[in-house]
């Protein structure tokens, strides 16, 4: 579990992920959530790296979710995130992504974090930039790709 001044962020257990999948109306999100659960079940010892992480305000209000899309053998993990529309514009995405990145880099095997965002999603790109991510000039399946190296590697140009 990750705590910030305003947020509690935690990997959902199987039952919670199944409930989210069952209640999701957006077919694309339902597919992504199902893939997360499948990753958890295929890699139970790496649950946190595949799970849907719940983002809640400290009063328990669910405001969004994030995920790591596995941790590859080369030490690279991709992060994804989303904040419900009624909670956007309040800095929650930046706060959650910063906290999740700190959590990830506490694991010595993590060398680099990646993220993709839709080319037209300037707000999400700004969140990544505020969190220290930099565009690496490539385009992935979802759009421009951004990377963040370990904080102590910044001087070495891996950021």
CATH superfamily, domain 2-156, is Gcn5-related N-acetyltransferase (GNAT) (3.40.630.30)
Q: Is the dihedral of CA 71, 54, 91, 99 positive or negative?
A: negative
Domain boundaries, the chain: 2-156
> How many whole angstroms separate alpha carbon 159 and alpha carbon 156?
8
| pLDDT for the residue numbered 143 | 84
Alpha helices in 77-149 (DSSP H): 92-105, 122-130
pLDDT of residue 153: 55
Predicted confidence pLDDT, tens digits, the chain (159 residues): 999 999 999 999 999 999 999 999 999 889 999 999 999 999 999 999 999 999 999 999 999 999 999 999 999 999 999 999 999 999 999 999 999 999 999 999 999 999 999 888 999 999 999 999 999 888 878 888 999 999 875 444 443
Predicted local confidence at residue 142, as pLDDT: 83
CA-to-CA distance for 154 and 131, rounded, in angstroms? Answer: 13
With the C-alpha atoms ordered 119, 120, 124, 130, is the resulting torsion angle positive or negative? positive
DSSP 149: E
- pTM value is 0.88
């Amino acid at each position: 579990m990750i705590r910030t001044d305003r947020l509690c962020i935690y990997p959902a257990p199987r039952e919670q992920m199944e409930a989210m999948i069952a209640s999701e109306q957006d077919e694309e999100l339902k597919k992504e959530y199902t893939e997360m659960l499948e990753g958890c079940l295929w890699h139970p010892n790496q649950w946190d790296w595949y799970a849907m992480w719940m983002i809640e305000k400290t009063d328990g209000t669910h405001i969004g979710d994030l995920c790591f899309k596995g941790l590859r053998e080369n030490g690279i993990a991709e992060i994804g995130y989303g904040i419900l529309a009624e909670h956007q514009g309040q800095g929650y995405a930046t706060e959650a992504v910063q906290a999740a990145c700190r959590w990830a880099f506490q694991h010595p095997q993590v060398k680099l974090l990646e993220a993709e965002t839709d080319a037209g999603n300037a707000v999400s790109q700004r969140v990544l930039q505020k969190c220290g991510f930099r565009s690496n000039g490539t385009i992935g399946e979802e759009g421009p790709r951004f990377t963040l190296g370990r904080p102590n590697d910044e001087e070495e140009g891996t950021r």
